[in-house]
A and B are shown apart, each in its own frame.
Chain A
């Protein structure tokens, strides 16, 4: 899922360490997430019916998932009726082949593209490149990242790891502009002039989609810069990739999601542009519209009763901005186009249990629950994280992972036993209190022996206190 430029993915706890050492990245990310968090609190706070909207959003999404096959067929029918063409792609290769063929049929070698995580997920740009087709990213940050041959580092501001003078140097070199200052307004203007020429001559536009309405066939792209408007209006042919979970039943449902999404995402009352189109319109915009419906693992997520709520996600990224883990490690550590808490539950489910790097992601959380609180469609991310950890352990067991001498499962069994009996539990506390004396330094335990050491590798433990609550309670009376 991550592009070919990434090295072989390692477990989260290994890669996270590298990024934690990058002080500049942490400063940038801290600034970015703090800013957007505060802004979000303000615009969400002014909505009197936010909780009601969240609940309706959750219920609509749940309804979609439980009837997904029927909604997909209804969407297909509506899009065709409105003058569009519908393609079904069961995996990434299937989708990339369909899109490449559509472009080749037109004899084109360049397409303009709106930022879309779904097309990043299927590695569309690389796949088109192999077919001799250049997919030009038109979102400013994506353009910067693409020009630098780099990887996005943040879902909101993919080029956050680049400062203004680096971007100026890049534009000077790649766009051949000599007199260019490092003022953001001037840099944006340079990108505007460069891309305007491309837009005016583009024959084919490629986009993702935020939602599609089953009942009417309407598709929407939500954006800020106007490149989305350009790509969905100027070319004569438009190809949009839609994850099958992004369906909403009726036009009316937009009134829920178009309130939830901008406030959660960019923390605006409304983002500058929303583009809704229903098939094709004579004399206005593309005269050929292709909608590619993408599965690529989504149906496996659907098959898990607890995990399935992950599909409710509307890709707002609010959960990233409140996550204490994401704020410190950044997006690259997740080895996926879906970072942060939502990535920690989506990526392992999309990739399946044998992907070691993805399987480590459910542990990239302190289960603090902040993500659940801000999620506009109320996905219970902590619950799914725990569920996936459990699933992961059971999978490892089946694979004979625990066949050697592993102390952790034994201890877990003993703990479970002790938690069920009061006397045993209290005795265990007493024993541990004596045993821990060897390891307590300045009131904390930062190093445990043997296999237990992995517990303290990432965190300090609080020792069991000299007097527990139960003991204190007894002394009261």
Chain B
């Protein structure tokens, strides 16, 4: 009896035989990728200043908060955000820049995933998570996470209700193709999981009323340094 794989491949070959003229060769052959026109934009025409302005505007469109700060102000800025949002327990990923962290006196307890992975319950019961990112895309207001240093595994930015994300200006690209281009080596060599985050989670399932925050973090605060 034939298995499903053979059945499907046979069906495809007989469906295409007329066009391809001959029996397609099955293995050891790279599929041809010739002749695809790619006339769309692959590089942004915006200057860095314009890119940043656009990114801030687009992130705000998603009802996320955006703040600009100098790097040395970060501990205070983050402590202030935590105070306003009543964050007592802040999750931090391995490899986070310690110069960003709020002072002990701020009353925010840091829960690190560094020395041993936190349990699901510990992450679930925290108030917020602080991370960096891999890239940000101005055109769509998107943050790209790859699980690298300062970003952590995917759960860390999923279970807490509030995500504070620090974006460096040199991480902001103009358009989507630039982000995929930069991700290419990471996928090929390290096969990292990638998450695109564009605003807080949302639903319009009840009478088309948009509600920010369903299963992912309900609030997102982007700090640009």
Interface residues of A (CB under 8 A from B): 31-32, 35, 48-49, 52-53, 55-56, 59-60, 63, 66-74, 82, 87-90, 94, 138-141, 144, 157-160, 163-164, 167, 184-185, 187-188, 191-192, 195-196, 199-200, 214, 216-218, 224-227, 229-230, 233-234, 244, 249-252, 254-256, 258-259, 268-279, 281, 283-285, 293, 295, 299-300, 302-303, 305, 308
A89 touches B204 (CB 8 A): no
Known: A200-B120, A225-B201, A284-B193. A192 touches B215 (CB 8 A): yes
Of A140, A200, A252, A284, the residue contacting B153 (CB under 8 A) is A284
B170 at interface (Cβ–Cβ under 8 A)?
no
Across-interface contacts of B155 in A (CB, < 8 A): 233-234, 284-285
Across-interface contacts of A82 in B (CB, < 8 A): 191
27 interchain pairs (CB within 8 A)?
A59-B35, A63-B32, A66-B19, A66-B20, A71-B31, A88-B4, A89-B4, A90-B11, A163-B207, A184-B206, A184-B207, A185-B211, A216-B191, A218-B187, A225-B201, A226-B158, A226-B215, A227-B214, A234-B120, A249-B31, A256-B38, A273-B196, A281-B192, A284-B193, A285-B154, A293-B8, A303-B15
Across-interface contacts of A32 in B (CB, < 8 A): 208
Known: A35-B208, A157-B208, A225-B215. A251 touches B32 (CB 8 A): no
A68 touches B16 (CB 8 A): yes
The complex places the Cα of A249 from the Cα of B38 at a distance, in Å, of: 14
Of A53, A68, A250, the residue contacting B40 (CB under 8 A) is A53
Across-interface contacts of B211 in A (CB, < 8 A): 184-185, 188
Of B40, B124, B199, the residue contacting A256 (CB under 8 A) is B40
A272 touches B198 (CB 8 A): yes
Across-interface contacts of B33 in A (CB, < 8 A): 63, 249-250
> Which of B20, B24, B176 has most chain A Cβ within 10 Å?
B176
Q: How many B residues face the partner with a CB closer than 8 A?
A: 81
Across-interface contacts of A224 in B (CB, < 8 A): 201-204, 214
Across-interface contacts of A56 in B (CB, < 8 A): 36-40
8 Å CB interface, B25-82 against A: 26-27, 29-33, 35-42, 58, 61-62
B26 touches A275 (CB 8 A): no
B197 at interface (Cβ–Cβ under 8 A)?
yes
B36 touches A59 (CB 8 A): yes
Across-interface contacts of B124 in A (CB, < 8 A): 196, 200
**0/1 per residue, B1-27, Cβ < 8 Å to A?**
001110111011111101110001011
Of A67, A89, A270, A308, the residue contacting B31 (CB under 8 A) is A67
Across-interface contacts of B217 in A (CB, < 8 A): 226
The complex places the Cα of A199 from the Cα of B137 at a distance, in Å, of: 30
B8 touches A72 (CB 8 A): yes
B147 at interface (Cβ–Cβ under 8 A)?
yes
B39 touches A49 (CB 8 A): yes
A69 touches B24 (CB 8 A): yes
Stretch at the interface among B84-92, B99-107, B138-146: B138-146
Of B7, B19, B158, B215, the residue contacting A90 (CB under 8 A) is B7
A467 to nearest B CB, angstroms?
A: 49
Known: A234-B120, A244-B8, A272-B198. A303 touches B205 (CB 8 A): no
Q: Please give me the residue from chain B that is nearest to A200 by CB atom.
A: B120
Across-interface contacts of B194 in A (CB, < 8 A): 274-277
The complex places the Cα of A260 from the Cα of B17 at a distance, in Å, of: 31
Extra 12 A-B pairs, beta carbons < 8 Å, given A67-B31, A230-B215: A31-B208, A49-B40, A52-B41, A56-B37, A59-B35, A66-B16, A163-B207, A225-B202, A225-B214, A234-B155, A270-B137, A303-B15
Known: A70-B31, A234-B120, A269-B140. A138 touches B191 (CB 8 A): no
The complex places the Cα of A238 from the Cα of B15 at a distance, in Å, of: 32
A155 to nearest B CB, angstroms?
A: 12
Q: Please give me the residue from chain B that is nearest to A281 by CB atom.
A: B193
The complex places the Cα of A217 from the Cα of B3 at a distance, in Å, of: 22
**0/1 per residue, B180-223, Cβ < 8 Å to A?**
11011001100111111111111111111101011111000000
8 Å CB interface, B94-142 against A: 117, 120-121, 124, 137, 139-142
A214 touches B31 (CB 8 A): yes
Across-interface contacts of B205 in A (CB, < 8 A): 139-141, 144, 157-159, 188
B206 touches A70 (CB 8 A): no
A327 to nearest B CB, angstroms?
A: 15
Q: Please give me the residue from chain B that is nearest to A167 by CB atom.
A: B206
A38 to nearest B CB, angstroms?
A: 13
A269 touches B184 (CB 8 A): no
A225 touches B8 (CB 8 A): no
B187 touches A295 (CB 8 A): no
A226 touches B140 (CB 8 A): no
The complex places the Cα of A254 from the Cα of B142 at a distance, in Å, of: 15
> Which of A200, A225, A275 has most chain B Cβ within 10 Å?
A225
B76 to nearest A CB, angstroms?
A: 30
B8 touches A271 (CB 8 A): no
A273 touches B31 (CB 8 A): no
Across-interface contacts of A216 in B (CB, < 8 A): 187-188, 191
Known: A192-B215, A251-B187. A184 touches B209 (CB 8 A): yes
A302 touches B202 (CB 8 A): no
A164 touches B206 (CB 8 A): yes
Across-interface contacts of A144 in B (CB, < 8 A): 205
Known: A88-B8, A278-B191. A269 touches B139 (CB 8 A): yes
The complex places the Cα of A70 from the Cα of B184 at a distance, in Å, of: 22
Of A94, A230, A270, A273, the residue contacting B140 (CB under 8 A) is A270
